[in-house]
Amino acid sequence: MAGNWKMHKNISETTAYFEKFLPLVSESKHCQIVACPPFVNLPAAVDAVKSSRVEIGGQNCFWPNEGAYTGEVSATMLKAAGAKWVIIGHSERRQYFGETDETVLKRTVAALEAGVNPIVCVGERLEERESGRTNEVLETQFRNGIAGLSPEQFSRIVIAYEPVWAIGTGKTATPEIAADAHRALRDAVRGKFGSEAGNSVRILYGGSVKPDNVKSLMAQPEVDGALVGGACLQPESFASIVNF
C-alpha cells in the first residue's frame, strides 16, 4: 500500500503525520507500507519511520547521478536520503512535465541501479477508454517503457495501473475495470518476460482509492495493492486503507 503525497505537506506536517499514522498501523503485517512525500521532506520522513515497518519513497528521479540539471534529483540522492522506493511515470508527470515511456524507462533503470525500488505508473486517459483503446494504450506504454528492462531488472519493479480519468476525480474504476486492465498488463508482461513474470509481478491500482472502496478493489485477485493520492493525506484515512 503506497501513499503518493504529491505536492502536499511541509517538514513539520510530515513529522506530525507519522506521529499519528504509525500507531494506527503498528499491528499491520499483511502488506508493505510506503509513503512518498515531496523530496524536501524525505529526511524527516525517513527519521520518523525508522523504528517502524513503514518505508519511504520519492515521487520521481532523474537518470544521471549528478550534473548540471537544475531542479532535478537523482536516484542515488534518493537512496542516500534513505528512500527505498520511487514513483516513476505518474500521469501528472507525463501530462505536465513531458514524461514519455522512453524517459520512464531511463528513470526506472537509474532507480534500479541505485538500489531504489521503482513503482512504475501506466494508465489510459478518458478519451482512450471511451474509444475502446485501453488495452492498446497499456500495451504501448509497457512496450515502449518497461519492456526494455532485463528480466532481472523487471523482477524488481512494481507496476501501478492508474487510469488517468480516475485520478483525483473521485471516479474510481470498478473492481472489474481494474481487474481487466491488470489482466491486460499481465498478458503483456507474459508476452515479453514469460508466464512466471506475468503471474508474479505486483500490480497496484491507483485512482480515487478510499477507505470505503479499497476492500472491493483488493478482493480482485488481479489487484495486489493500491497507490493512493488524496486519501493518504490524512493519517486515519491512509491507515484504514492499509488495514482494509
Any catalytic annotation for residue 136? no
Of all residues in this chain, which one has the CB nearest to ligand PGA in the complex? 229
Residue 32 cell numbers, joined: 508493505
CA dist 167 and 172 (Å) reads 8
**Cα distance from N-terminal residue to C-terminal residue, the chain:** 10
Q: Which residue lies nearer to ligand PGA by CB, 193 or 227?
A: 227
Q: Which of 99, 128, 139, 162 does the annotation list as catalytic? A: 162
Least Å from the CB of residue 64 to ligand PGA: 26
Element spanning 193, H or E = helix 175-193
**Residues 167 and 129 sit within 8 Å (Cβ to Cβ):** no
Instruction: List CB contacts of 157: < 8 A, sequence separation 6 or more.
Output: 108, 112, 117, 118, 119, 120, 146, 149, 201
199: helix, strand or coil: helix
Least Å from the CB of residue 112 to ligand PGA: 21
Q: Which residue lies nearer to ligand PGA by CB, 31 or 197?
A: 31
Q: Which of 55, 90, 139, 182 does the annotation list as catalytic? A: 90
Q: Which residue lies nearer to ligand PGA by CB, 44 or 214?
A: 214
Any catalytic annotation for residue 127? no
CA dist 242 and 238 (Å) reads 6
Q: Which residue lies nearer to ligand PGA by CB, 148 or 206?
A: 206
Least Å from the CB of residue 109 to ligand PGA: 22
Question: Which amino acid type is present at position 180?
Answer: D
Least Å from the CB of residue 151 to ligand PGA: 27
CA dist 138 and 170 (Å) reads 22
Q: Which residue lies nearer to ligand PGA by CB, 148 or 228?
A: 228
CA dist 62 and 236 (Å) reads 32
- Which residues contact ligand PGA by CB under 6 A? 4, 162, 167-168, 206-209, 227-231
Least Å from the CB of residue 63 to ligand PGA: 22
Catalytic residues: 90, 162
